Structure 1
């Protein structure tokens, strides 16, 4: 193995180890893109969970009998989100990036849902 080749191999390995955030990976490809969006989904899910729990508290104070319906609506919304994003991702491309597009759709829908819940119950 040539010294130049070995140097570049070590440089690439060091760069990937130095950045734990896949969103910072330059030219990271599909896996880095997928992991980047997945990390953003984790943060968005925490925001949605917080909004949802706060809305439950408000519903419980104002109309406790609506909690069942709110829980059902959230459960059905999650099914819709998954089905809609699977369709959007699969119809948009037949490439390895399909999974990333599905995750990006899910991220956008999660952020919109949190914003919607906040606007209805706290806006």
Structure 2
């Protein structure tokens, strides 16, 4: 019985220790591959968040373009549909392309970093394209 109590206490302590969060990674000074992977993923998450915000703005600009085009006639409406189609295709392309980039280190510890880094770079470039689309619409 005493052993069971000790075992339970040890397991509880181990569970509490595992529940503690790791300290944040200093991405400016990342040294381990795990930290570099984490930082690359965080870069991608940040870029993706910005992309989503700009995409919403682009949708609004395309909705306005469709409203204006509707005045000419219903055959001229389709800016929102085109943007959504392009965005879906772009996401598929980005993910496939970046998975391919990851094969440079297939099975290795840096594969995730390569994929996330590629996704961050491509996402930042797409965000720029969407901003240019918005500006081109006069918004």
TM-score, normalization by structure 1: 0.75
1:85 maps to 2:98: yes
Query: Hey, what's the Cα distance between the residues in 1 that align with 2:57 and 2:30?
Result: 38
Query: Hey, what's the Cα distance between the residues in 2 that align with 1:100 and 1:22?
Result: 16
Match of 1:34 among 9, 34, 37: 37
Give CA-to-partner distance per residue, 1:74-95, whole Å, 9 cap, x none: 01111100100011120x2243
Give CA-to-partner distance per residue, 1:21-64, whole Å, 9 cap, x none: 3414542x221111111111121111101111111101101125
Unaligned runs of 5+ in 2: 1-21, 67-76
Query: Hey, what's the Cα distance between the residues in 2 that align with 1:33 and 1:22?
Result: 10
Higher Cα Rg, which structure: 2
Q: RMSD of the TM alignment (CA)? A: 2.0
Partner of 1:60: 63
Query: Hey, what's the Cα distance between the residues in 2 that align with 1:77 and 1:46?
Result: 16
Deviation at 1:119, TM superposition (A): 1.5
Aligned residue pair count: 105
Unaligned runs of 5+ in 1: 1-16
